[in-house]
Amino acid sequence: MTTLPHRQLSLRPDQLAPEILRLAQAEAPQAEFFQRLCEALASTVRSGTVNLWVIEGPVWLDLRWDRMSGFSARRCSAPKTETVENLCPLAGWEPEGWDHDVLTVRASRSQGPSSITVLGLVAGDRKAGWLAFPGSDPAYLLKREAEEFLKVSETLAIALEQQRLLAAIRERVKELTCTYGLSGLTEGPDSLEELLGRAAELIPPALQWPEIAVAAIVLDGQSHGHSVVEINDGFRTPLIIGGAERGWVEVAYTEDRPRLGDSAFQPEEVELLATVARQIAALVERRESRAEREKLERRLRHSDRLATIGTLSAGVAHELNEPLGAVLGFAQLASGHPDVPEAVAGDLKKIEDAALHAREIVRQLMLFARRDPPLTQPTEWEAVVTAALALMTVRCRDAGVVVVEEFLGEGVFVDADPARLQQVVVNLIVNAVQAMPDGGTLTLRTRAEGNDAVLEVEDTGVGMDERVRERVFVPFFTTKDVNEGTGLGLAVVHGIVTAHEGSIRVDSSPGEGTRFEVCLPQTAQAAG
């Protein structure tokens, strides 16, 4: 957009029409056009003061240029009747006489100028506004001067109408360019942070002064785009996502420029920012909905895999039970024979221990596969957590782990098998302690969420990457060294929780610790 160079004017009335046409054709920002126009008009009169009222539908622009104070502008409601008293900033004007469609009025009180000359500006059949020259005496404008202004009044009215239409077209083009650019951001693999940064770059070109405009999009406390925090003269519109305000779109100018009213931003720009905020909110909602849908799909696929593994595990465990029982039984019978040599007795003891270990693995596989239904009863949630923590206190202390308890402190009950539920808590604590080889903080947190009782087990350990997180509940998957774990602990936890019609999820990042969240339905009495 063209910016008009500032220049000192001293025009004769016959030079006014060419200057008005030059200004209208420059396609400058509307505020600068009006400033230069008022300056040009004021340069042709001795007082150096001019008032221009421009009609913009139900709103009028009250523009003023004064040699001493410069340019000022304000928006005001259109008067009910276009009388002199309603047009002039100071009420109390009395008509003195008409001459060639020029109305000269005289003040009925001593405040302000003693006379004012008002010209109607008409383009075709549409009134574009009014031009007024306050003066120091009733004969301020000579008849010749009035006739000169009458000659350019139609040119001025046409220029105002042209500027109004061109400004509306420019605003519409900028709005469509900006919104079209935003709509194109919905596709592609870019992250949400990258999209918001690119969206912020699309906003300044849609404003009056793009070369000095900056914009930022703030979402959930995170700013994207140019920082406008230290710029006082800005404007922001809220980001409403899912019925909640989660941020805002903010714009500002880094330098002062002419303005039409108190705000540096025009009503059309304010409306554009509201549209931009709605588009960005829709973009964020779509992105978050897609991410949540993909997350649910991954969890569903993961659950399907676990179910398949569970079915396979149940079958394997069932087939292994009988031969393991025979091995264990015959080993025990043989070791009980009085004539068994000492060396053979030692080997039989190893066979017995190995069979017992294998049977324990089979039992855990059955737990994971949920083929052994739990015997549930109303169980106090925090009592089970406290009992499991008591069993692990010494191990936590020896490992240099500080335990933080954030318990609800209320009687929350769940339908559960207390022994198996305690096994869940113990396994999660063991997993957390092993994730903190150099010590750390273990936080156990309970809360009620709707009809669910929730337990959070959070550590400050090494954390897990996405590959490990996705396989953490798979039987025999472990990141521990050989002979340090079977990879069944968290698989058993998943099986027990699922058998209790609950859910478990994990949130972890490398180097940032891990948080397991177990949700179990409260008993009907407790939940009600």
Q: What pLDDT sits at residue 517? A: 93
CATH code (residue 450): 3.30.565.10
Higher-pLDDT residue of 5, 318: 318
Residue 401's pLDDT band (boundaries 50, 70, 90)?
very high
Indicate the pTM of the whole model. Answer: 0.53
Per-residue pLDDT tens for 451-468? 889 999 999 998 888 888
Query: For the chain, what is the domain count?
Result: 3
What does the alpha-carbon distance between residue 112 and residue 136 come to, in Å, rounded to a whole number? 9
In DSSP terms, 225 is beta-bridged to: 216
Res. 41: pLDDT tops 80: yes
Residue 382 and residue 331 in contact, taking contact as beta carbons nearer than 8 Å: no
Sole residue written with tokens 């043989």: 334
Instruction: Looking at the structure, tell me whether residues 516 and 409 fall in a common domain.
Output: yes
Instruction: Looking at the structure, tell me whether residues 187 and 258 fall in a common domain.
Output: yes
Q: What pLDDT sits at residue 524? A: 63
Range(s) of the domain holding residue 93: 13-169
Higher-pLDDT residue of 262, 196: 196
405: Cβ contacts below 8 Å, ≥ 6 apart = 389, 444
Residue 46 covered by a domain: yes
Choose the final residue of a domain: 262, 285, 308.
285
**Burial degree of 466 (CB within 10 A; 0-12, 13-18, 19+):** exposed
Res. 480: pLDDT tops 60: no
Res. 226: pLDDT tops 80: no
Instruction: Looking at the structure, tell me whether residues 99 and 211 fall in a common domain.
Output: no
CATH code (residue 224): 3.30.450.40
Q: Given CA atoms 167, 173, 175, 177 in this order, what sign does their dihedral have?
A: negative
Instruction: Looking at the structure, tell me whether residues 38 and 160 fall in a common domain.
Output: yes
Q: Given CA atoms 315, 320, 325, 328 in this order, what sign does their dihedral have?
A: negative
Q: What pLDDT sits at residue 5? A: 47
Phi, psi angles (nearest 5°) of residue 111: -70, 145
Choose the final residue of a domain: 169, 184, 209.
169
Residue 151 covered by a domain: yes
Residue 215 covered by a domain: yes
> Which of 29-33, 103-107, 293-297, 496-500 is predicted least confidently?
103-107
Q: What pLDDT sits at residue 441? A: 93
Q: What is the mean pLDDT of the chain?
A: 77
Residue 111 tokens, joined:
């405040």
Per-residue pLDDT tens for 373-391? 667 788 888 888 888 888 8
Instruction: Looking at the structure, tell me whether residues 21 and 107 fall in a common domain.
Output: yes
134: Cβ contacts below 8 Å, ≥ 6 apart = 47, 49, 51, 112, 113, 115, 116
Q: What pLDDT sits at residue 92? A: 40
Residue 138's pLDDT band (boundaries 50, 70, 90)?
very low
Instruction: Looking at the structure, tell me whether residues 156 and 235 fall in a common domain.
Output: no
Instruction: Looking at the structure, tell me whether residues 149 and 210 fall in a common domain.
Output: no
Residue 107's pLDDT band (boundaries 50, 70, 90)?
very low
Higher-pLDDT residue of 431, 524: 431
Per-residue pLDDT tens for 45-75? 777 788 888 887 777 888 888 878 888 888 8
